[in-house]
Structure 1
Amino acid sequence: MLRKLLLSVAVIYTLALIVVTFINLDGVPSLGSSFDDKIYHFLAYAGLAGLWITFFKQRHKKQTLLLVFVIVVLFGVLLEVIQHQLNQNRTYDTYDLLANCFGVVIGTLIATRIDIIKLK
């Protein structure tokens, strides 16, 4: 049951990230730095990778985890590249893309190293 809950959370998080990528985000709280946007990108993709790696790691081999890692990186790249096509107020930013990728790396490392919950 916990595994199904984790899958539901991962799917909902992924869909929410897609929506947030394509809408205007005026009024997002400031963290007080000049690179708040990059921090948000990093955290969003660390969470995304963490959820999907945690879901797959209990029953799958390392090759599967590598595939999940690659898919999440490609997902971040794809969203960053096409976001300005669907919303003229959003633009492509290489630093956002790097923050996405770095977030995936860190989220994957954390999820593979720490067993926060044991899935049955």
Structure 2
Amino acid sequence: MAKRAGAAALAATLLAALAVGQLRAAPEQPKSPGGEAGRVHALVGATVVPRPGEVIPNGTIVIRDGLIAAVGSKVAIPAEAQVWDLSGCTVYPGLIEPYLRLAPRKSGGKDDEDETPQPPKKPSAV
């Protein structure tokens, strides 16, 4: 019975050590680049495309605490905002699919797995 209690105590100690190790390894939350004063940003002078077919020339985007607070051509810039001049730039929403398939799809309704290019066959000896 004493062996069982000792084994249980050892197992509990090891489990507690693992749990504490995991807690200590937890990553910190990212901080704003400018600290508390840098939590409001104003992106000014850009051509803003908020959705397909809509263009805002000389637009302003206000970002507060990492979230978009306002978008438009006549947006008031908060006094505490860090202003970024984006004249000559175009800003699109971050909803563009970064994966672009460059090869045309084969007809016949095959899955992507079936479209893996095969190495060229060796010519047969004559």
- The structure with the largest helix share of the pair is 1
Looking at both structures, which has the greater relative contact order when contacts are Cα pairs under 8 Å and sequence separation is at least 6? Answer: 1
- The structure with the largest strand share of the pair is 2
Instruction: From the CA coordinates, give the structure whose radius of gyration is larger.
Output: 2
Give the TM-score normalised by the residue count of structure 1. Answer: 0.26
Give the TM-score normalised by the residue count of structure 2. Answer: 0.26
